[in-house]
């Protein structure tokens, strides 16, 4: 009986002492832009993240090279993609189908390029002399971010024509109100 009383009393003491406000912390796995960008190393790591948008998409396995091949060369007369109907996404692209809005190649091209643009814009919004005091390093980070943003827009204009031009980080609700841009790759 004494052991049970001792266990109950010690359990009550542990439960009353263990509860505190320290348990209500912001998850460190979700880093916001205001917290992350502090040093030049953080910015270099973020630039690597922009380059990562060119890499393979985990859900489809397609990266920039495959996307470029499927959306450019498959549509040209350089590559023969047999079949007039089928389940492969490239067949629909090859046949210039008008209903490509749900095609995985098309949606991935749109999403991957805009992810890269968002990452580049976030870097450019956060970059200042207080966080990166070395001017050559700051210029390199800014140049790479601007180049990659332009590269992603070039890709988007090649595939989609007029696209929304976003030159700073925006929220999803703000993005809905941005109109299509005025730039087109080819004029008719």
User: For residue range 55-112, what is the model confidence (pLDDT) as tens digits?
Assistant: 876 555 667 777 777 677 666 666 666 655 555 555 555 555 566 666 667 777 778 8
Mean pLDDT of the residues in the chain: 75
The token pair at 64 is 């920039």
Buried b (16+ CB within 10 A) or exposed e, 125-157: ebbeeeebeeeeebebbbebbeebbebbbebbb
> pLDDT digit string (tens) for 14-29?
766 665 556 566 666 6
pLDDT reading at 145 higher than 90 = yes
d(CA 182, CA 123): 25
CATH number of residue 71's parent domain = 1.25.40.390
pLDDT at 187: 42
Under a CB-based contact definition with an 8 Å cutoff, are residues 162 and 181 in contact? yes
**Inside any domain, residue 107:** yes
**Inside any domain, residue 16:** no
**Inside any domain, residue 7:** no
Instruction: Quote the percentage of the chain above a pLDDT of 70.
Output: 63
pLDDT at 101: 61
Under a CB-based contact definition with an 8 Å cutoff, are residues 155 and 148 in contact? no
Task: Give Cα 86 distance to the centre of its chain.
Answer: 31
DSSP 39: S
Under a CB-based contact definition with an 8 Å cutoff, are residues 64 and 56 in contact? no
Whole-prediction pTM value? Answer: 0.70
The token pair at 154 is 């070039």
How many separate helices (H) and strands (E) can be counted in the chain? 8, 0
Q: Report how far apart the first and last C-alpha atoms of the chain are (Å, whole number).
A: 92
**Inside any domain, residue 165:** yes
Domain residues for 154? 37-175
d(CA 127, CA 138): 8
Number of domains the chain contains? 1
**Inside any domain, residue 150:** yes
pLDDT at 160: 79
Please, what is the Cα angle at 130 between 126 and 131, to 5 degrees? 55
pLDDT at 15: 67
Residue 180 pairs in a beta bridge with 164
Residue 164 pairs in a beta bridge with 180
> pLDDT digit string (tens) for 174-186?
777 887 775 544 4
Closest CA to 72 of 158, 177, 185: 158
pLDDT at 30: 65
- pLDDT-derived band at 157, boundaries 50, 70, 90: confident
CA distances from 83 to 100, 155, 163 (A): 17, 27, 31
**Inside any domain, residue 18:** no
**Inside any domain, residue 158:** yes
**Inside any domain, residue 32:** no
158: helix, coil or strand? helix
pLDDT reading at 141 higher than 60 = yes
């Amino acid at each position: 009986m004494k052991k049970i009383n001792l266990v109950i009393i010690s359990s009550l003491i542990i439960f009353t002492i263990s509860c505190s406000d320290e348990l209500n912390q912001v998850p460190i796995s979700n880093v916001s832009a205001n917290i992350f960008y502090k040093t030049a190393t953080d910015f270099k790591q973020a630039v690597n993240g922009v380059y990562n948008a060119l890499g393979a998409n985990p859900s489809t396995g397609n990266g920039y090279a495959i996307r470029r091949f499927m959306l450019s060369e498959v549509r040209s007369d350089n590559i023969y993609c047999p079949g007039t109907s089928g389940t492969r996404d490239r067949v629909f692209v090859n046949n210039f189908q008008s209903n490509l809005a749900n095609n995985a190649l098309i949606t991935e091209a749109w999403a991957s390029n805009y992810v890269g643009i968002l990452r580049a814009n976030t870097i450019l919004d956060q970059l200042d002399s207080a966080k990166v005091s070395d001017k050559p390093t700051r210029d390199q980070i800014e140049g790479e971010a601007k180049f990659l943003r332009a590269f992603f827009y070039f890709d988007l204009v090649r595939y989609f024509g007029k696209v929304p031009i976003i030159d700073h980080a925006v929220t999803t609700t703000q993005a809905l109100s941005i109109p299509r841009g005025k730039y087109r790759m080819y004029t008719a």
